[in-house]
Amino acid sequence: MLGHLKPTFCKSSVESKENYWEFYCSVCASLRKQYGTSYSLLLNNELTLILSAFQEEYAQAQTIQTPCPASAFVLKRFALSHQAIDMAGHLSVLLAWIKALDWYSDKPNVFKKILLQRLRRRANKILPLLQPDSQAIVGEYARITENNEQDFRLIRQQSNALARMLVQEIALKVDAMPETTDLLAELFGKAGELIAIADHLIDLEKDQQHNQYNPIVLQSEKKQIPLAQAYLQLKGEYYALRHSLFPLLIQTNPTFAEAFRRSIHRLDAQIDKNLPACMRSEEAQQLVGKMQIVQTSFANLPASMPPPNGCCDEECIGACLGCSCQLCASGCCDDLCDICGSDCCEGCCSGSGNSTTSAERKARREERKAEREAKRKAKEEQRAQKNKDKNKKKDKPKDKDKDDDDVY
């Protein structure tokens, strides 16, 4: 959960794009207010997505205007002020400390040490703001990071736990419904594991050059199999896990779901762009043709797998999270910003997309605010009704009529 889930907005809906950037600017403003301008560089994309997933819970949020650092503070952008957004700012700094710890553990130097010490002081003040269970999760994740843990199963478990913790801490600040929190915790928990796998797929060659830990190399050496085969097996686990996200994602709000899908698409494209040299050999091409090698990791996918260039089933269209193709990361169901070429909409690579007028943006902000208020009231009424029904059941007298035989 350290910056990989960043959506691209080429050909995406205006609502999804504006909703994401509203929360992005909100966290940026909160970081600058709490820690100073330089801390806006630590803004975390995953936390922005988590905030947007709870978008209907911000009915009481205050709308503010904040100078934008990206425009040298000349332009002002609209943002939200809310305690959940402030918590996202704290968590962004905490994740930056973990990232700095990872950098320093891999290759220590004086600059990294100074940065790590500065962020550690901040982290020590943030940790008491979290729930005790959350503090324990952060501590354990920091421990395995500092010790360069090589048990990949443990790394995946802790990545899942860390991602769940982020959702639960944000949920406490928005008073979210328990079922909503559980759904998003499961979704982002799986996404945390997905990122842990993708990180090693993307960095395989770099890890080999610097003699750093990578589970693909370890698996290849341990089982005496070709590196390409170990790579394909981990990539199979990546697509199996990605496939499992789709049933959860369709239960979330549409604007968040669209941004989340595009974040996964971007992650797919990063993996495809960083295809290692071992996968360009003739031996690797032969392994790709042997479907059972990849399929061994696809525990929850159909036994009949489509060919590598055969994308895709009907579920994949418009979502691509349901895609079961092993090697179709190159935008199989969507035009990714990085690869759409001449069809790329203007500004998509910077995330700005097609331009709109300030009046249109203001009108949509008001619409989103009204929609959040309506959804908030509906949830409060639903919660009140549930409590009322529970009280009725408690107050209902039990049938105490018993036969004489039962008494004696």
Can you tell me the mean pLDDT for 402-408?
47
Query: Which residues, in sequence order, are CB contacts of 122 under 8 Å at separation 6+?
Result: 35, 93, 97
Percent above pLDDT 90 for the chain:
46
Residue whose tokens read 């203007």: 346
Least confident residue range of 62-66, 191-195, 317-321: 317-321
Residue 2 banded pLDDT, cuts 50, 70, 90: low
Three-state DSSP string of 242-296: HHHHHHHHCCCCHHHHHHHHHHHHHHHHHHHHCCCHHHHCHHHHHHHHCHHHHHC
Give the pLDDT score at 332: 40
Query: Which residues, in sequence order, are CB contacts of 229 under 8 Å at separation 6+?
Result: 220, 287, 293
Query: Which domains are present in the chain?
Result: 14-336 (1.10.600)
Residue 65: its H or E element = strand 62-67
- Whether pLDDT at 327 is above 50: no
Q: What is the largest CA-CA distance in the chain?
A: 88
- Whether pLDDT at 407 is above 50: no
- Map residue 78 onto helix, strand or coil: strand
Q: Residues 166, 50: contact at Cβ < 8 Å?
A: yes
* Amino acid letter for position 101: L
Q: What is the pLDDT of residues 22-36, one digit of tens each?
A: 999 999 999 999 999
Output the average pLDDT for the chain. 79
- Whether pLDDT at 179 is above 70: yes
Two structure tokens written together for 279: 């996968």
Q: Residues 178, 205: contact at Cβ < 8 Å?
A: no
d(CA 20, CA 254): 12
Q: Residues 60, 82: contact at Cβ < 8 Å?
A: yes
- Map residue 47 onto helix, strand or coil: helix
Give the pLDDT score at 107: 85
Q: Residues 79, 26: contact at Cβ < 8 Å?
A: yes
Q: What is the pLDDT of residues 95-121, one digit of tens each?
A: 999 999 989 988 889 999 999 999 999
Q: Residues 35, 20: contact at Cβ < 8 Å?
A: no
Give the pLDDT score at 289: 58
Q: What is the pLDDT of residues 60-78, one digit of tens each?
A: 778 888 888 887 777 888 8
